[in-house]
Amino acid sequence: MFQGASAITLDAKGRMSIPAKHRDALAIQCEGRLTLTKHPDGCLLMYPRHVWEAKRDQIAAWPMSARGWQRILLGNASDVEMDSAGRILVAPELRDAVGLGREVVLSGMLTHFEIWDPARRAENEQQTIDVGMPDALSDFSF
């Protein structure tokens, strides 16, 4: 399970180093084979390949009324592999699509990761806080 946030700097070629705390798990779980795609909230999703393949099959089975969402998620999917230094290449098209610069935040979401521009992530979190706790979480206690 992946959790926690890591501040990462992309190199000049757009490569991102996977933090050591996740690198070994990804090497074991999926041999460093990952899939990146665009998320409508303005970040990238990064899945271990086997997790993505199950998700991809679910998305492919959606009805025609969800064709636009299929285009967003499947049409932007990019398979990548960690190199020997534990880095992945984030394609320029994906970086541009969500406004990633040199500084990014990798956020563990249990089965996958989100890759955010730090300012956009902070803005998204503030909007979530401003809206307040949804009714579905009314019984949850911290």
Q: What is the structure's pLDDT at 104?
A: 98
Residue pLDDT, tens place only, 28-50: 999 999 999 999 999 999 999 99
Q: What is the structure's pLDDT at 142?
A: 82
Q: What is the CATH number of domain 2-133?
A: 3.40.1550.20
Q: What is the structure's pLDDT at 27?
A: 95
Q: Which residues of 30-64 are buried (b: 16+ CB within 10 A; e: fewer)?
A: bebbbbbbbbeebbbbbbbbeebeebbeebeeeee
Q: What is the structure's pLDDT at 134?
A: 93
Give the residues of the chain that fall short of pLDDT 70: none
Q: What is the structure's pLDDT at 138?
A: 87
Q: What is the structure's pLDDT at 140?
A: 87
Helix, strand, coil percentages in the chain from 3-state DSSP, rounded to 5: 40, 30, 30
pTM score: 0.94
